[in-house]
Amino acid sequence: MPDINSEDMKLLVTISNDIEADVTESLLRSYGIPVHRKYRGIGGLLKIYMGISVYGVDFYVSSSHFEKAREILEAHRDKAEENNCDDNEVVDEKE
């Protein structure tokens, strides 16, 4: 994988918590897209010391994978939004 500081790497997304970061990384890797995580601020130290980071995680991908990765994340987000019900909506389980 190229160095995170190389011009070939592009910031894809910043994710606020480790659980969502794990899911996102698994999703992208399942499509064969390698990712590089970079914790913000002292987040890397907190991840080592406490097992979690609350400072957010930047995800970088190579420029050759950038568009495909962005499409995958957008499709995944759209599908997740479709499957969520409005808080006031009642779902009939018999349907």
HSE-CB for 70 with a 13 A CA cutoff = 9
Q: 């050759």: which residue's tokens?
A: 64
The helix (run of H) or strand (run of E) holding residue 60 is: strand 57-62
In contact, 16 and 56? CB cutoff 8 Å: yes
pTM of the model as a whole: 0.68
Q: Which two tokens stand for residue 91?
A: 């779902």
In contact, 25 and 35? CB cutoff 8 Å: yes
Query: DSSP secondary-structure letter at 42?
Result: T
Taking only the tens place, the pLDDT of each residue in 33-76 is: 999 888 776 555 556 545 565 678 889 999 999 999 999 999 98
Q: 């010391």: which residue's tokens?
A: 49
